[in-house]
Amino acid sequence: MAQIGQFALALALVVTAYSIIASLLGIRLKHDNLIASGRNAALGACLCITTAMGCLGYLFAVSDFSIKYIAAHSNRDLPMYFKVSSIWGGQEGSLLFWGWLLTIYSALVIIQNWRKHSAMMPYVVAVLMFTSLFFTWMHLFIVNPFNQTVILQSAASPLPFVPRDGNGLNPLLQDAYMVIHPPMLYLGFVGFAVPFAFAMAAMITKQLGDTWIRTTRRWTMVAWMFLSIGILLGGKWAYHELGWGGFWAWDPVENASLMPWLIGTAFLHSVMVQEKKGMLKVWNMVLIILTFIMSLFGTLLTRSGMVQSVHAFAQSPVGGYFRAFIVVALSAALYLLFDRLPYLKSENQMESIVSRESSFMFNNLILLAACFAVFWGTMFPIISEAVTGSKITVGPPFFNKVNVPIAVFLMFLTGVGPLLAWRRASTDSLKRNFLWPAVIALACGVVLYFRGVQHFYAWLAMVMSIFVTGTIIHEFYRGAAARSSGTGETFIEAVVNLTLRNTRRYGGYIVHFGFVLLFIGLAGQAFTTDAEGDLGIGDKLAIREYTLRMDKLGIEDTPNYASDKATLSLFEYGKKVANLYPEKRLYKAGGEQQPTTEVSIYSTAKNDIYVVFQGGTRDGKKAIVQVFYNPLVMWVWIGGIVLVLGTLIALLPNKKAILRRRPEIESKEERKEIETKIS
């Protein structure tokens, strides 16, 4: 099986290289068959890498420890779903997974767009395959997952042998969220390669209208959605697996996923200005280039051990290659951009600071600033070492001080931006759109203040959230009321139809609402408290309106781990609401036993009670228990779900657009575009 995998990788390398050459040569020679052959080769590359993935999955499933990667990341007693998810449990496998997704995306793009955009597609294929070539080369020569186990020769075992058992999957990764978090994140990272490839193709072919943007709009949204899910799942995993009571710590590895997300978000918004007004063309190119580069950079950060992180990643050789690839990709993209600047002239100018365009521009500016701040903070140890000779780390206060105000300002724009008119908003329309939401938000603000929300940013965040919610409800209400009086539909029907007729706009509002909820959850974290105690049987520990009582201390043994387990009763205002079972586990695989903390969480809309079993006291009779009171955490996850739903709605085609055929519209517009260019 390993040989088949090796062979598939080698074949993929050849086929990928051929695909690039055939596509480019085909265009040069105007040879249609050659271009088609390049396309087929790209599809073939997908088949090869898929085969390699299949082989690796099979080797994990049968626990073939003669393969180094498998011996290092799996063991016999590991449950099957963790065995399979171990594929992305380490360096070699995650990169193979990245490369695999890239070829899958490439194949889908080809199938979807080959006929519609025949001029651009060979270049799109070439750009995607160039990226793929880099990854395939890495799989084959630098971090090959199919390498045989290297046995250290010793007197005791002069003959080569296969280890009887593997080293095991890191217990911290033995978690349902860790099964799906990396695929989601990678689906996001890799997804941005598609709009990037189209942007490059648009520049090469000089078809610089909004065709490339409209073609890749859904791809960008899908990538963005997966990246959002990936980030949130990572937070969720950290929250219930790491046992320190929070879900975000500005660790480099978290920042690595946030940076492309921030720029990707700016890009998603900014393209609307180009579609509607023909402005910000250069800017959009810069944004998509940066998004893709940041996705690569994110992969580099997490995969190279370049920056100190709590996450255990190897000091590995991939860093240098990744840096080289990023430099090549960035220089090529920027060179192309400079060369095509004359074709990217803006068709309009900003007219008023109170307008949709301007709100988009400020949204772009601060998202970029946020990304820059995160980048700066993450890289500061490296930058300061290069400049002053000493490594200086910046710490969470730096990130919070910059990003919290940015987030609040973004929230403000979220409420205001979508309702401002293009060009210039009149005072009348401002009053009509914002008076009531603002009044309600301020009134709630007063109430919140006297109910004890006196942390400045948390208060501001909550007031903004209410304001934005008000504007969103107002929009739905106004649209639906107008529709139901016109068509005689009931109000609910009107809301549904309204949304389905303009999925992009109303789906967008739902995404914004998801953000509001997420934001409320984040604001709640300003009020986290905790308590700690040594609890014997019957002992109690109080926190705010809750009391914990220790009922039982026991030991549990499974083939995979042994655990100390506490059973606690949770009382709210003296009434029992739940049993909680925090554990301290010792995983058995790999000789050295590693302890892990399994927290137990009682979650309500109002707050989480998060209980950690820290270990036994020295006499072994009591358990050290720490409890966190985390307000509103649930809203972070609910907000995430709403955000995904909103994105899915925005991905639906508009109801009326189904009647008119899309390709016609596009080709007509494309023709117009070409005509204007000629004239």
| Chain residues 370-399 in contact with another protein, contact rule CB under 8 A | 373, 376, 381, 390-399
DSSP state of 67: B
As measured in angstroms, the least distance from the Cβ of 505 to another protein is 26
Look at strands 561-572 and 575-580 and give their pairing. antiparallel
Backbone phi and psi for residue 194, each to the nearest 5 degrees, phi listed first:
-70, -55
As measured in angstroms, the least distance from the Cβ of 227 to another protein is 24
As measured in angstroms, the least distance from the Cβ of 357 to another protein is 10
Strand partners, 585: 563, 596
Taking CB under 8 A as the criterion, the residue among 405, 501, 527, 622 binding another protein is 405
Shorter beta-carbon distance to another protein: residue 163 or 278: 163
72 binds another protein (CB under 8 A): yes
* Both structure tokens of 271: 């393209």
Q: 484-500 in b/e burial notation, b at 16+ Cβ within 10 A?
A: beeeebeeeebbebbbb
Taking CB under 8 A as the criterion, the residue among 29, 310, 328, 482 binding another protein is 310
Shorter beta-carbon distance to another protein: residue 149 or 228: 149
Q: Which helix (H) or strand (E) holds 615?
A: strand 607-616
As measured in angstroms, the least distance from the Cβ of 471 to another protein is 22
Shorter beta-carbon distance to another protein: residue 4 or 402: 402
Backbone phi and psi for residue 227, each to the nearest 5 degrees, phi listed first:
-65, -45
| Chain residues 265-294 in contact with another protein, contact rule CB under 8 A | none
As measured in angstroms, the least distance from the Cβ of 154 to another protein is 7
Q: Are 424 and 529 in contact (CB under 8 A)?
A: no
| Chain residues 350-369 in contact with another protein, contact rule CB under 8 A | 350-353, 358, 361-362, 365-366, 369
> Binding-site residue total for another protein (CB under 8 A)?
72
4 binds another protein (CB under 8 A): no
Q: Of 171, 185, 169, 306, nearest to 243 (Cα)?
A: 171
571 binds another protein (CB under 8 A): no
DSSP state of 30: T
- Each residue 475-494 as x (binds another protein by CB under 8 A) or -, in order, gives --------------------
Taking CB under 8 A as the criterion, the residue among 339, 595, 667, 671 binding another protein is 595
Taking CB under 8 A as the criterion, the residue among 597, 600, 607, 647 binding another protein is 597
DSSP state of 74: -
Q: For residue 530, what are the CA distances in angstroms to 293, 431, 452, 472, 533?
A: 40, 45, 18, 36, 11
- Each residue 9-48 as x (binds another protein by CB under 8 A) or -, in order, gives ----------------------------------------
As measured in angstroms, the least distance from the Cβ of 89 to another protein is 9
Taking CB under 8 A as the criterion, the residue among 159, 428, 574, 592 binding another protein is 592
| Chain residues 325-354 in contact with another protein, contact rule CB under 8 A | 350-353
DSSP code per residue over 592-609: S-EEEEE-EEEE-SSEEE
Q: For residue 164, what are the CA distances in angstroms to 89, 167, 589?
A: 20, 10, 12
311 binds another protein (CB under 8 A): yes
As measured in angstroms, the least distance from the Cβ of 321 to another protein is 16
What is the number of residues in the chain?
Answer: 679
Rounded CA-CA distance 242/252 in Å is 16
91 binds another protein (CB under 8 A): yes
Taking CB under 8 A as the criterion, the residue among 591, 605, 664, 678 binding another protein is 591
Shorter beta-carbon distance to another protein: residue 91 or 291: 91
Q: Residue 256, exposed/middle/buried by CB under 10 A (0-12, 13-18, 19+)?
A: buried
Q: Are 56 and 146 in contact (CB under 8 A)?
A: yes
Q: For residue 636, what are the CA distances in angstroms to 610, 644, 664?
A: 15, 13, 42
| Chain residues 130-149 in contact with another protein, contact rule CB under 8 A | 149
As measured in angstroms, the least distance from the Cβ of 170 to another protein is 5
Cα dihedral 186→187→189→192 (10° resolution): 160
Strand partners, 529: 629
Q: Which amino acid is at 449?
A: Y
As measured in angstroms, the least distance from the Cβ of 477 to another protein is 32
Taking CB under 8 A as the criterion, the residue among 151, 496, 531, 638 binding another protein is 151
| Chain residues 155-214 in contact with another protein, contact rule CB under 8 A | 156-157, 163-165, 167, 170, 172
Q: Are 610 and 628 in contact (CB under 8 A)?
A: yes
Q: Integer distance in angstroms from the first to the last C-alpha of the chain? A: 60
Shorter beta-carbon distance to another protein: residue 273 or 480: 273
Taking CB under 8 A as the criterion, the residue among 79, 111, 176, 308 binding another protein is 308
As measured in angstroms, the least distance from the Cβ of 159 to another protein is 12
Rounded CA-CA distance 459/495 in Å is 31
Rounded CA-CA distance 392/378 in Å is 11
As measured in angstroms, the least distance from the Cβ of 164 to another protein is 6
Q: Are 584 and 613 in contact (CB under 8 A)?
A: yes
As measured in angstroms, the least distance from the Cβ of 353 to another protein is 5
426 binds another protein (CB under 8 A): no
Rounded CA-CA distance 669/215 in Å is 13
320 binds another protein (CB under 8 A): no
Q: For residue 49, what are the CA distances in angstroms to 12, 130, 205?
A: 6, 15, 30
Shorter beta-carbon distance to another protein: residue 35 or 367: 367
As measured in angstroms, the least distance from the Cβ of 614 to another protein is 4
Taking CB under 8 A as the criterion, the residue among 191, 243, 507, 508 binding another protein is 243
Rounded CA-CA distance 615/562 in Å is 14
| Chain residues 102-131 in contact with another protein, contact rule CB under 8 A | none
Q: Which helix (H) or strand (E) holds 547?
A: strand 546-557
As measured in angstroms, the least distance from the Cβ of 398 to another protein is 4
Which span (68-76, 507-515, 537-545, 663-671) binds another protein, by CB under 8 A?
A: 68-76
| Chain residues 437-456 in contact with another protein, contact rule CB under 8 A | none
As measured in angstroms, the least distance from the Cβ of 529 to another protein is 12
- Each residue 611-650 as x (binds another protein by CB under 8 A) or -, in order, gives -x-xx--x-----x-x------------------------
As measured in angstroms, the least distance from the Cβ of 23 to another protein is 38
Q: Which amino acid is at 615?
A: G
Q: Are 314 and 91 in contact (CB under 8 A)?
A: yes
| Chain residues 503-532 in contact with another protein, contact rule CB under 8 A | none
Taking CB under 8 A as the criterion, the residue among 84, 142, 242, 344 binding another protein is 242
**Conformational region of residue 352, where left means phi above 0, alpha means psi within -120 to 50, and beta covers everything else:** beta
* Both structure tokens of 409: 């300002």
